[in-house]
Amino acid sequence: MTGDIEQSSRVRFPGISPRAYEHPADRGALAVLRAVPAVAPIIKAVAAAFSERGERLVQVASSVRVGPKQYPDLHRLQNEVAATFDLDEAPELFVRHSPLVNAYTRGIDKPFIVLNSGLVERFDREELRFVIGHETGHAMSGHGLYNTILERLLNLQYALGWMPAGALAMRAVIAALYEWQRKTELSCDRAGLLACQDPQAALRVHLAYAGDIGGQVDIAAFLEQAKEYEGEDIRDSILKLMDNERRSHPLAVVRAAQLQRWAASEEYREILTGTYPRREDDHPTSNLTDDLKGAARSYKESASNSADPLIKTINDIGESVMGAASKVWSKVAPNGPAE
Protein backbone atom coordinates (compact mmCIF):
# COMPACT_ATOMS: atom_id res chain seq x y z
CA MET A 1 0.00 0.00 0.00
CA THR A 2 1.43 3.39 -1.05
CA GLY A 3 3.08 5.33 1.73
CA ASP A 4 2.36 2.70 4.37
CA ILE A 5 4.60 2.91 7.44
CA GLU A 6 5.16 -0.05 9.70
CA GLN A 7 3.85 0.54 13.22
CA SER A 8 7.27 -0.33 14.67
CA SER A 9 8.84 2.64 12.81
CA ARG A 10 6.09 5.14 13.61
CA VAL A 11 7.02 7.61 16.34
CA ARG A 12 4.89 7.78 19.46
CA PHE A 13 4.52 10.92 21.56
CA PRO A 14 4.43 10.20 25.31
CA GLY A 15 2.41 12.79 27.21
CA ILE A 16 2.00 15.04 24.17
CA SER A 17 -0.10 18.17 24.72
CA PRO A 18 -2.59 19.37 22.10
CA ARG A 19 -0.55 22.59 22.10
CA ALA A 20 2.07 20.71 20.09
CA TYR A 21 -0.11 20.61 16.98
CA GLU A 22 -2.61 23.42 17.48
CA HIS A 23 -2.35 26.21 14.92
CA PRO A 24 -1.10 29.37 16.68
CA ALA A 25 -4.31 31.32 15.94
CA ASP A 26 -6.41 28.41 17.24
CA ARG A 27 -4.19 28.01 20.31
CA GLY A 28 -4.26 31.73 21.09
CA ALA A 29 -8.06 31.85 21.01
CA LEU A 30 -8.38 28.69 23.10
CA ALA A 31 -5.80 29.96 25.59
CA VAL A 32 -7.82 33.11 26.27
CA LEU A 33 -10.96 31.06 26.89
CA ARG A 34 -9.19 28.51 29.08
CA ALA A 35 -7.35 31.11 31.18
CA VAL A 36 -10.39 33.01 32.43
CA PRO A 37 -12.01 31.07 35.30
CA ALA A 38 -15.51 32.48 34.69
CA VAL A 39 -15.59 31.51 31.03
CA ALA A 40 -15.80 27.72 31.30
CA PRO A 41 -18.99 27.61 33.45
CA ILE A 42 -20.69 30.17 31.21
CA ILE A 43 -19.78 28.26 28.06
CA LYS A 44 -20.98 24.99 29.51
CA ALA A 45 -24.22 26.64 30.58
CA VAL A 46 -24.82 27.97 27.07
CA ALA A 47 -24.01 24.56 25.65
CA ALA A 48 -26.36 22.79 28.03
CA ALA A 49 -29.04 22.55 25.35
CA PHE A 50 -26.76 20.21 23.41
CA SER A 51 -27.73 16.65 24.23
CA GLU A 52 -24.48 14.73 23.98
CA ARG A 53 -26.11 11.62 25.34
CA GLY A 54 -28.96 11.95 22.87
CA GLU A 55 -26.65 12.33 19.89
CA ARG A 56 -24.60 9.33 20.97
CA LEU A 57 -27.80 7.28 21.26
CA VAL A 58 -28.69 8.27 17.71
CA GLN A 59 -25.35 6.88 16.54
CA VAL A 60 -25.85 3.70 18.57
CA ALA A 61 -29.26 3.24 16.95
CA SER A 62 -28.36 4.15 13.35
CA SER A 63 -24.62 3.56 12.87
CA VAL A 64 -22.08 0.78 13.40
CA ARG A 65 -19.94 1.14 16.52
CA VAL A 66 -16.38 0.15 15.70
CA GLY A 67 -14.92 -2.60 17.87
CA PRO A 68 -13.04 -5.92 17.80
CA LYS A 69 -15.92 -7.61 15.94
CA GLN A 70 -17.17 -4.66 13.89
CA TYR A 71 -14.73 -3.05 11.48
CA PRO A 72 -11.78 -4.71 13.25
CA ASP A 73 -9.24 -2.98 10.96
CA LEU A 74 -10.64 0.42 11.90
CA HIS A 75 -10.63 -0.67 15.54
CA ARG A 76 -6.90 -1.41 15.31
CA LEU A 77 -6.27 1.95 13.65
CA GLN A 78 -8.35 3.67 16.32
CA ASN A 79 -6.22 2.13 19.07
CA GLU A 80 -2.93 2.73 17.23
CA VAL A 81 -3.74 6.44 16.88
CA ALA A 82 -4.65 6.61 20.59
CA ALA A 83 -1.31 4.93 21.42
CA THR A 84 0.55 7.39 19.18
CA PHE A 85 -0.92 10.27 21.21
CA ASP A 86 -0.45 8.39 24.51
CA LEU A 87 -4.17 8.39 25.33
CA ASP A 88 -5.53 6.07 28.00
CA GLU A 89 -8.71 5.59 25.98
CA ALA A 90 -9.49 6.12 22.30
CA PRO A 91 -12.55 8.24 21.46
CA GLU A 92 -15.53 6.06 20.56
CA LEU A 93 -15.76 5.50 16.80
CA PHE A 94 -18.85 4.98 14.61
CA VAL A 95 -19.35 4.31 10.90
CA ARG A 96 -22.45 6.00 9.51
CA HIS A 97 -24.06 5.11 6.19
CA SER A 98 -23.52 8.02 3.80
CA PRO A 99 -21.90 8.30 0.35
CA LEU A 100 -20.32 11.65 1.29
CA VAL A 101 -16.58 11.57 1.98
CA ASN A 102 -16.79 13.13 5.43
CA ALA A 103 -16.03 12.64 9.13
CA TYR A 104 -16.78 14.62 12.25
CA THR A 105 -16.33 14.69 16.03
CA ARG A 106 -19.11 15.40 18.51
CA GLY A 107 -19.35 15.52 22.27
CA ILE A 108 -18.01 17.61 25.11
CA ASP A 109 -17.48 15.40 28.15
CA LYS A 110 -16.86 12.23 26.15
CA PRO A 111 -16.17 13.07 22.48
CA PHE A 112 -16.90 10.49 19.80
CA ILE A 113 -15.94 10.26 16.12
CA VAL A 114 -18.21 9.47 13.18
CA LEU A 115 -16.87 8.32 9.80
CA ASN A 116 -19.15 8.21 6.78
CA SER A 117 -19.15 4.88 4.95
CA GLY A 118 -18.23 6.69 1.72
CA LEU A 119 -15.01 7.86 3.36
CA VAL A 120 -14.18 4.38 4.69
CA GLU A 121 -14.65 2.89 1.22
CA ARG A 122 -12.65 5.63 -0.51
CA PHE A 123 -9.49 5.81 1.66
CA ASP A 124 -6.63 3.38 2.16
CA ARG A 125 -5.22 2.48 5.58
CA GLU A 126 -2.82 5.41 5.95
CA GLU A 127 -5.37 7.90 4.68
CA LEU A 128 -7.83 6.57 7.27
CA ARG A 129 -5.10 6.88 9.91
CA PHE A 130 -4.75 10.55 8.95
CA VAL A 131 -8.52 11.11 9.19
CA ILE A 132 -8.83 9.35 12.56
CA GLY A 133 -5.80 11.30 13.81
CA HIS A 134 -7.42 14.53 12.62
CA GLU A 135 -10.67 13.78 14.44
CA THR A 136 -8.79 12.62 17.56
CA GLY A 137 -7.08 16.01 17.49
CA HIS A 138 -10.49 17.68 17.75
CA ALA A 139 -11.29 15.50 20.76
CA MET A 140 -7.96 16.20 22.49
CA SER A 141 -8.24 19.96 21.98
CA GLY A 142 -11.80 20.14 23.26
CA HIS A 143 -13.06 21.74 20.07
CA GLY A 144 -16.46 20.12 20.50
CA LEU A 145 -17.41 22.51 23.29
CA TYR A 146 -16.74 25.65 21.27
CA ASN A 147 -18.24 24.24 18.08
CA THR A 148 -21.40 23.63 20.11
CA ILE A 149 -21.39 27.30 21.14
CA LEU A 150 -21.22 28.29 17.48
CA GLU A 151 -24.21 26.08 16.71
CA ARG A 152 -26.16 27.66 19.57
CA LEU A 153 -25.31 31.17 18.37
CA LEU A 154 -26.41 30.31 14.84
CA ASN A 155 -29.77 29.21 16.22
CA LEU A 156 -29.95 32.34 18.37
CA GLN A 157 -29.19 34.54 15.38
CA TYR A 158 -32.45 33.51 13.77
CA ALA A 159 -34.29 34.60 16.91
CA LEU A 160 -32.54 38.01 16.83
CA GLY A 161 -32.69 38.41 13.08
CA TRP A 162 -35.50 40.98 13.25
CA MET A 163 -33.31 43.28 15.40
CA PRO A 164 -30.78 45.06 13.11
CA ALA A 165 -28.36 45.98 15.92
CA GLY A 166 -28.58 42.55 17.48
CA ALA A 167 -28.15 40.85 14.11
CA LEU A 168 -25.04 42.86 13.26
CA ALA A 169 -23.43 42.20 16.61
CA MET A 170 -24.26 38.50 16.41
CA ARG A 171 -22.95 38.32 12.85
CA ALA A 172 -19.59 39.73 13.98
CA VAL A 173 -19.30 37.16 16.79
CA ILE A 174 -20.31 34.31 14.49
CA ALA A 175 -17.85 35.43 11.80
CA ALA A 176 -15.06 35.44 14.40
CA LEU A 177 -16.04 31.96 15.59
CA TYR A 178 -16.07 30.68 12.02
CA GLU A 179 -12.57 32.09 11.52
CA TRP A 180 -11.43 30.28 14.67
CA GLN A 181 -13.20 27.09 13.51
CA ARG A 182 -11.30 27.15 10.20
CA LYS A 183 -8.06 27.39 12.18
CA THR A 184 -9.07 24.33 14.24
CA GLU A 185 -9.19 22.35 10.99
CA LEU A 186 -5.60 23.39 10.24
CA SER A 187 -4.67 22.33 13.79
CA CYS A 188 -6.22 18.91 13.37
CA ASP A 189 -4.69 18.37 9.95
CA ARG A 190 -1.40 18.62 11.84
CA ALA A 191 -2.68 16.09 14.39
CA GLY A 192 -3.58 13.81 11.49
CA LEU A 193 -0.08 14.12 10.09
CA LEU A 194 1.45 13.30 13.48
CA ALA A 195 -0.76 10.20 13.58
CA CYS A 196 0.18 8.89 10.13
CA GLN A 197 3.60 10.60 9.70
CA ASP A 198 3.09 10.34 5.94
CA PRO A 199 2.69 13.72 4.17
CA GLN A 200 1.72 11.99 0.93
CA ALA A 201 -1.18 10.19 2.62
CA ALA A 202 -2.37 13.50 4.07
CA LEU A 203 -2.13 15.13 0.65
CA ARG A 204 -4.14 12.32 -0.94
CA VAL A 205 -6.93 13.00 1.57
CA HIS A 206 -7.00 16.68 0.61
CA LEU A 207 -7.00 15.74 -3.08
CA ALA A 208 -10.01 13.50 -2.47
CA TYR A 209 -11.85 16.28 -0.64
CA ALA A 210 -11.19 18.54 -3.63
CA GLY A 211 -12.53 16.02 -6.14
CA ASP A 212 -9.75 13.60 -7.13
CA ILE A 213 -11.11 10.28 -8.38
CA GLY A 214 -8.69 7.42 -8.87
CA GLY A 215 -5.43 9.39 -8.76
CA GLN A 216 -6.16 11.60 -11.78
CA VAL A 217 -4.88 14.82 -10.18
CA ASP A 218 -1.33 16.09 -10.60
CA ILE A 219 0.00 17.09 -7.17
CA ALA A 220 2.23 19.94 -8.37
CA ALA A 221 -0.58 21.43 -10.45
CA PHE A 222 -2.99 21.10 -7.52
CA LEU A 223 -0.64 22.92 -5.14
CA GLU A 224 -0.17 25.60 -7.81
CA GLN A 225 -3.88 26.31 -7.46
CA ALA A 226 -3.24 27.43 -3.88
CA LYS A 227 -0.82 30.09 -5.14
CA GLU A 228 -3.35 31.20 -7.74
CA TYR A 229 -6.05 31.42 -5.07
CA GLU A 230 -3.97 33.82 -2.98
CA GLY A 231 -3.83 36.30 -5.88
CA GLU A 232 -3.22 40.05 -5.80
CA ASP A 233 -6.54 41.45 -7.03
CA ILE A 234 -8.57 43.29 -4.38
CA ARG A 235 -11.76 42.26 -6.19
CA ASP A 236 -10.87 38.61 -5.60
CA SER A 237 -10.08 39.43 -1.97
CA ILE A 238 -13.60 40.69 -1.33
CA LEU A 239 -15.13 37.72 -3.10
CA LYS A 240 -13.03 35.34 -0.98
CA LEU A 241 -13.97 37.14 2.21
CA MET A 242 -17.67 36.86 1.37
CA ASP A 243 -17.32 33.23 0.36
CA ASN A 244 -15.42 32.22 3.48
CA GLU A 245 -17.54 34.07 6.04
CA ARG A 246 -19.75 31.05 6.75
CA ARG A 247 -17.34 28.25 5.93
CA SER A 248 -16.47 25.92 8.79
CA HIS A 249 -13.49 24.43 6.90
CA PRO A 250 -10.71 26.06 4.88
CA LEU A 251 -10.84 25.31 1.16
CA ALA A 252 -9.07 22.12 0.06
CA VAL A 253 -6.15 23.77 -1.77
CA VAL A 254 -5.51 26.03 1.23
CA ARG A 255 -5.52 23.10 3.67
CA ALA A 256 -3.18 21.07 1.47
CA ALA A 257 -0.68 23.90 1.00
CA GLN A 258 -0.71 24.82 4.70
CA LEU A 259 -0.11 21.26 5.85
CA GLN A 260 2.64 20.59 3.31
CA ARG A 261 4.46 23.71 4.55
CA TRP A 262 4.15 22.48 8.14
CA ALA A 263 5.38 19.01 7.13
CA ALA A 264 8.56 20.67 5.81
CA SER A 265 9.02 22.84 8.91
CA GLU A 266 11.52 22.58 11.72
CA GLU A 267 8.61 22.53 14.18
CA TYR A 268 7.32 19.24 12.73
CA ARG A 269 10.81 17.70 12.73
CA GLU A 270 11.34 18.68 16.37
CA ILE A 271 8.10 16.99 17.41
CA LEU A 272 9.17 13.80 15.65
CA THR A 273 12.43 13.86 17.61
CA GLY A 274 10.63 14.29 20.96
CA THR A 275 10.74 18.05 21.47
CA TYR A 276 7.16 19.13 22.10
CA PRO A 277 4.90 20.47 24.91
CA ARG A 278 3.76 17.87 27.47
CA ARG A 279 0.31 17.65 29.05
CA GLU A 280 1.88 17.71 32.51
CA ASP A 281 3.18 21.22 31.74
CA ASP A 282 -0.15 22.62 30.56
CA HIS A 283 -1.07 25.53 32.83
CA PRO A 284 -3.50 27.90 31.09
CA THR A 285 -2.49 31.08 32.88
CA SER A 286 1.26 30.58 32.54
CA ASN A 287 1.02 29.45 28.89
CA LEU A 288 -1.28 32.27 27.80
CA THR A 289 1.38 34.88 27.04
CA ASP A 290 3.38 32.48 24.87
CA ASP A 291 0.25 31.34 23.04
CA LEU A 292 -0.83 34.92 22.31
CA LYS A 293 2.64 35.82 21.07
CA GLY A 294 2.63 32.71 18.88
CA ALA A 295 -0.73 33.71 17.40
CA ALA A 296 0.55 37.22 16.65
CA ARG A 297 3.65 35.77 14.94
CA SER A 298 1.44 33.46 12.90
CA TYR A 299 -0.66 36.35 11.60
CA LYS A 300 2.51 38.29 10.78
CA GLU A 301 4.05 35.39 8.87
CA SER A 302 0.79 34.74 7.03
CA ALA A 303 0.63 38.39 5.97
CA SER A 304 4.23 38.37 4.73
CA ASN A 305 3.67 35.16 2.74
CA SER A 306 0.43 36.30 1.10
CA ALA A 307 0.09 38.48 -1.99
CA ASP A 308 -3.57 39.12 -1.20
CA PRO A 309 -3.94 42.79 -0.09
CA LEU A 310 -7.08 42.22 1.97
CA ILE A 311 -5.61 39.15 3.69
CA LYS A 312 -2.57 41.24 4.58
CA THR A 313 -4.84 43.80 6.22
CA ILE A 314 -6.84 41.18 8.12
CA ASN A 315 -3.67 39.46 9.31
CA ASP A 316 -2.22 42.80 10.40
CA ILE A 317 -5.32 43.31 12.54
CA GLY A 318 -5.02 39.80 13.96
CA GLU A 319 -1.34 40.37 14.77
CA SER A 320 -2.15 43.67 16.51
CA VAL A 321 -4.99 42.21 18.56
CA MET A 322 -2.98 39.20 19.72
CA GLY A 323 0.08 41.35 20.40
CA ALA A 324 -1.94 43.80 22.48
CA ALA A 325 -3.62 40.98 24.40
CA SER A 326 -0.21 39.50 25.18
CA LYS A 327 1.09 42.81 26.56
CA VAL A 328 -2.01 43.31 28.70
CA TRP A 329 -1.80 39.78 30.09
CA SER A 330 1.91 40.18 30.85
CA LYS A 331 1.08 43.17 33.04
CA VAL A 332 -1.84 41.62 34.90
CA ALA A 333 -0.61 38.01 35.09
CA PRO A 334 1.27 38.38 38.40
CA ASN A 335 -2.00 39.40 40.03
CA GLY A 336 -4.17 37.27 37.79
CA PRO A 337 -6.15 34.15 38.64
CA ALA A 338 -4.31 31.35 40.40
CA GLU A 339 -3.55 28.23 38.44
**Distance set, CA 7 to CA 120, 187, 298 (Å):** 20, 23, 33
**CB 10 within 8 Å of CB 84:** yes
Partners of 104 in beta bridges:
114
Spatial separation of the C-alpha atoms in residues 107 and 102, rounded to whole Å = 17
**Residue of 80, 92, 135, 319 marked catalytic:** 135
Listed as own residue / partner, the contacts of 74-81 with beta carbons closer than 8 Å and 24 or more positions apart are: 74/115, 74/120, 74/128, 74/132, 77/125, 77/128, 77/129, 77/132, 78/132, 80/7, 80/10, 80/129, 81/129, 81/132, 81/133, 81/136, 81/195
DSSP class per residue in 169-230: HHHHHHHHHHHHHHHHHHHHHHHHHHHH--HHHHHHHHHHHHT--SS-S-HHHHHHHHHHHH
135 among known catalytic residues? yes
Could you give the residue numbers annotated as active site?
A: 135
